[in-house]
Structure 1
Amino acid sequence: MESFFGTLNSAFFCANCFESLDALKAGIRQYIHYYNHKRIKLKLNGLGPVMYRTQPSRP
């Protein structure tokens, strides 16, 4: 969790300015979706975290 919040702080909060609390909430939701579904990691064979976890296991 510390790693996620560190990334959220440096990659999201520092790069954006929000006009309202609702805009902040929507932005955080979008970032969490990106972080879990679209962020490609080399350690996960080039897949996003959700795709890696849901792929069929190999014998």
Structure 2
Amino acid sequence: MNQSMSRKGKSTDNGLIASFFGTLKREMFFGFQQNFQLLTELNQAIKEYIHYYNTKRIKSKLKGLTPIEYRVSVLKTSQ
């Protein structure tokens, strides 16, 4: 992932990733702050969250499925 260098308020080029980082911060950090002693600890926590986000986190917008389950169901119906 690369940080966007667009001007403030012009996130059209990185809207998806900006939304993801907002969700990550809201669900992983705000109210649940942890003191990471090493950057590797933070890196591991983010990797675990991304795994959770894709494989276990149910979204109502995806018909009550996880993102991976939804993608698989869409691929099955399009074949």
TM-score bracket for the superposition, by shorter chain length? 0.7 to 0.9
2: CA distance between counterparts of 1:16 and 1:50? 28
Alignment-mate amino acid for residue 23 of structure 1: E
Instruction: State the shift of 1:11 in Å.
Output: 1.7
Instruction: State the shift of 1:13 in Å.
Output: 2.7
Taking CA–CA contacts closer than 8 Å with sequence separation of 6 or more, which of the two structures ends up with the larger relative contact order?
Answer: 1
Unpaired segments of 5 or more residues in structure 2? 1-16
1:11-54 per-position Cα deviation (integer Å, ceiling 9, x unaligned): 21331321211110100000001111111011211110011001
Equivalent pairs: percent with the same residue?
Answer: 47
Which moved further from structure 2: 13-22 or 36-45? 13-22
Q: CA RMSD in A?
A: 1.7
What TM-score, normalized by structure 2, do the two folds share? Answer: 0.65
- Could you list the runs of 4 or more consecutive aligned residues of structure 1 that deviate by over 3 angstroms after TM superposition? none
What TM-score, normalized by structure 1, do the two folds share? Answer: 0.84
Larger of the two Rg values belongs to structure: 2
